[in-house]
Amino acid sequence: MIKKCLLASLLVGAAGGAFAQGYAGALVGISNFKISSDYSCTDCDKSGTAVKVYAGGDIAPHAAVEIAYIDFGHASGTLGPSGFPGVLPVKLRANAFVVAGVAKWEVYPKFTVAGKAGLAVVRSSLAGGGVEERNSRGQPYGGLALDYEFMKNLRVVGHYDLTKYEVDSEKETLYQLGLGIQSQF
Q: What is the pLDDT of residues 155-171, one digit of tens each?
A: 999 999 999 998 877 88
Query: CATH code at 178?
Result: 2.40.160.20
Q: Domain range spanning residue 94?
A: 2-184
How many structural domains are present in the chain? 1
pLDDT over threshold 80, residue 82:
no
For the entire predicted model, the pTM comes to: 0.84
Q: Which residue has the higher pLDDT, 37 or 11?
A: 37
Give the rounded distance of the alpha carbon of 110 from its chain centre.
25
Mean pLDDT of 59-88: 85
